Every structure is written in structure tokens, then in C-alpha cells.
Structure 1
Amino acid sequence: MTKRFLPLALAAAIALPAAAARADTQPPPRIMVTGEGESAIAPDLALLSLSVMREAKTARAALDANNDAMAAVIAAMKAAGVEERDLQTAGIQIAPRYNYSNKPDGSQEAELVAYQVTNTLSVRVRDLSKTGEILDKSVSLGVNQGGGISFTNDDPEKALTEARKLAVADAMQKARTLSEAAGVNLGRIIEISDQAVMQPPPIPYMAKAEMRDAAVPIEAGENAYHVHVNVVFELK
């Protein structure tokens, strides 16, 4: 069999493009940094969770009593200026209540004593100055289960935009510091992503039947919007 050999110049010409292709497929050196930004603004929306619980010998009687109490609460919400679109039933629960007694043989005997019906209403209050008044009125009309309150913003985009700008500036500064310390130069931005989180201060509220007649004191504070950005830079 006759062996054929390529000329040396031709073999080199074939090898060089292959090596260049392999070099092109290798990703350039890069650095990834995380930046953080925060912007705080006053809330303009209060979210309330109000529950009415009624108990009676029969489920029907408990439900009727609960319906009457919750209807009065809803009417009071509307009279205070809360629109229908800001009222939403969050859940209705009907449950039996038992008394348990020990029998001589050591077992327990369950006696059905009543039925409990709980109706929970979610309320959005757009006039924050009325929040305390609404809470106080709801308790007077029948809200007797625990409740909750939180403050948010109807349109937080302006605060988020400011937080994003601060986060990107923070990432840029970190990248410059790291590259200077490493003795390299920053190139173009290859990739950037962000994640936004709202962290309002926790404001617990528990409805109590013994609340005084004056409106419940409410402090709305500020909502802090946090943004984290991941930025990938090419290194020269």
C-alpha cells in the first residue's frame, strides 16, 4: 500500500484554522458581582383581615348568626368609604365543637356541644386615615377572631426603579474595585438580572372585644423595596 503525505505547508494551513476555531469557542474571562439597592416610600394601601366567629347548638343557627354579624361589618365598611372591589370573602369555615370526658374504662367520650362558623373578610383600605376607625368599628359590630394588617403600595414602580438604579451602581462599583485589585480591566456587560423584594415592617394586629371606643391607633411607617442585581462583566 502506498502512503501519501501532505506537504508540510498544507498541513499547517489545515491545523491553524482548527486551533483558531477552538479558541473562538472558549468563553472570555469574566467576573460576576451582586449589587444591592433600596428605596423606601410611605404606603398608600392597608390590607386588613377581619374574622367573625359565631357559635350555636346547630350549624344552621350558627351560620345565621354569623351572616347577620358579617353583613353588619360589610355595611360598615361601605359606609366608611370602602368600595365593593376592595371587599373579598377569604373563607368560611363550619366546624363542630366537642367536650371530651374520661370513661371508667379509660377511653374518652365525645359530646357534641355546638357548631362554630367563622367568616373571614379581606379589606383594602385606600384612605389610610380611616384604618383605625374601620378596625374599631368592625370589632364593635362583631369581629371577634384574630386579624391581621399590613401596608403596601398600589403602584411601587417608582420606588423599584430607584432601587434598581442604586443596585446597578453598587454592582458597578464592586466590579471596579475587584478588577483594580486583580490588575485587570473591565470589558462590556455580558449579562444582567435582577430580583425585587418588598420588606414592609411587621405590624401585628389582634382584634379584641374589650377594645376601647376610641379609634385604634395606627402607624403606617414606610415600605422598603430591595433590589438585588447580578451583573456579569467581560474582562479584558
Structure 2
Amino acid sequence: MQAQVYPSSQPPGISVTGEAEIQVMPDEVIITLGVESKSAQLQNAKSENDQRVNAVIAALKKTGVKESAIQTDFFSVNPEYRSADTTQPESYTVRKRMMVTLSDIDAFERVISGALSAGANVIQGIDFRTSALREHRDKARSLALKAAQEKASAMAVELGQTIGRPLQIIEQRGGYWSYYSGGWWGGHNYGGMSQNVMQSAGGSAEGAGTLAPGKIKISASVSATFELLQSGN
């Protein structure tokens, strides 16, 4: 990004952007499990699905998952036809989805294995998160502001000037990304001359069993305009 000097009717200023990224260890995981049953008879499909769901819930509780951490949030019945001109369904598919919230990352593999053994046949999502997201976002924003200020100061020096008070600060949309979920939350790609800052926020990447959770990336970006002063002012 190039320095922008304002017309004489406005205070001379320099506009920059700053980015920051913090990597943190997850302390929470949300597992989305599904049970799908199919039969030529609707009642049979529903009965089998109910039995398997109850077995999965029992298995989850046996592994130490609290009942309050298990939520059934989706249910569907889909008739399937042999052809478009047939009014009688050939079969019925019953689907039920459960969301399991774990605060013990070490229990992840044990819980997944237990659920699959009990009858879960769909894993729709695995979301590793941090319960201190707000705190880390605030820290990333602070680092982004510092990056913007440092860059503005460095650019002003190249012009033989210095920076003064901030005239405008705009927070851009930040990002939250986990290797396991494979998606962005409010993610945005920033290009140009953005100042990049990375800080590792504690924790180890080592996990129990065969699971080694990667760190969650939390990013922030700001645009800032600072007064542009002659050196010595």
C-alpha cells in the first residue's frame, strides 16, 4: 500500500493496514454425529433408527459425556421412489443428527470410537474450538493496531516525517480457522502491503493417543490513518 497524502483542506495523514494472527490450542471440540436407517417400511426404518440413536447416546454417556453435552438437533424422513411416475415409495430413509460438545480433548478418540461402535454411521463435522475466543480476538486486534502503527511510522520516516495521533481506525473482518473444520468463520483474505504479525499463544501441539490437534488460527485486521507531521514537530 502506498502512502496517501490528503489535500490541504484536511489534516495531512498516512493510511495503512495492519494484520495479526494468533495461534492457540483448542480446549473444546464439537462432534456432529448422524444415524441413518433405511427400510422398505417406514415404521421399520424409524424403529431401527430410534434403537441405534439410543444405543449411541448410551455409549456416549458410558465414555463420560454428560447428558447436557448431547443435543439431537435434526430429524428427517425421506421417501425414495423407483421412478418419477410412481406414487408408492420403494423405501424410506430416516436420519437423525446429534451434536456432542467435549471439553476434554483427550476423550475425543474414545468418544468417536464408542459412538461408531454403537451404531452411528455418519460423522458430519468435527470442530475444534477455544472457549477463550473473545480474549484471543481482542489480543489479535491489539497486535494488528500495533502493526499498523509501526508500519505507518516506518513509512513516514522514509518521507522524512513522523506520525502523530490516529485520525481514523476501522476494524476489518477477522478470521477464525481450524485445520479440522476446514472452514472460515468470518474469514477474509487480506492482500497488499498489510503488516503481518504472528504470535503463538501457549500450549503444545502434542496430544494423547494418535490425535495431535493443530492450533486454531485467530486473525484480525485494521485500517488506520495517522497524522503526518514534519520531523521535529
Sequence identity percentage: 28
5+ residue gaps, structure 2, are 1-7, 183-207
Indicate how the Cα distance of structure 1 residues 216 and 97 shifts in structure 2: closer, same or farther if over 3 A, else same.
farther
Q: 1:198 aligns with which of 151, 154, 176?
A: 176
Moved over 3 A (4+): 107-111
In the TM superposition, 1:38-117 aligns within 5 A as 38-100=21-83, 112-117=89-94
Give the deviation of 1:189 after TM superposition: 0.9
> How many residues are treated as equivalent by the alignment?
196
Q: What secondary structure, in the 3-state scheme, does the structure 1 residue paired with 2:82 have? A: strand
User: 2:117 — aligned with what?
Assistant: 140
Give yes or no for the alignment of 1:225 onto 2:218: yes
Match of 2:152 among 175, 183, 195: 175
In structure 2, do the counterparts of structure 1 residues 52 and 84 end up closer, same or farther at CA, with 3 Å as the change threshold? same
Structure showing the higher helix proportion among its residues: 1
Alignment partner of 1:93: what SS? strand
Once the two structures are TM-superposed, the CA of residue 148 in structure 1 deviates from its matched residue by: 1.8
Opposite residue 38 of structure 1, the aligned amino acid is: E
Q: Would the aligned equivalents of 1:99 and 1:110 in 2 still touch at CA under 8 Å?
A: no
| Pairs within 5 Å for 1:1-16 | none
* Structure 1 unmatched runs, 5+: 1-24, 101-106, 205-214
Contact 1:42 1:223 in 2 (8 A): yes
Which structure would you say has the larger Rg? 1
CA distance in 2: counterparts of 1:216 and 1:61, whole angstroms: 39
8 Å CA contact 2:22, 2:217 repeated in 1 = yes
Displacement, 1:158? 3.7
TM normalised by structure 2 equals: 0.75
Greater CA drift, 118-127 or 83-92: 83-92
CA distance in 2, matches of 1:28, 1:85: 57
The question of 1:124 aligning with 2:101 is answered: yes
Q: Secondary structure at the match of 2:140?
A: helix
Compute the RMSD of aligned alpha carbons: 2.5
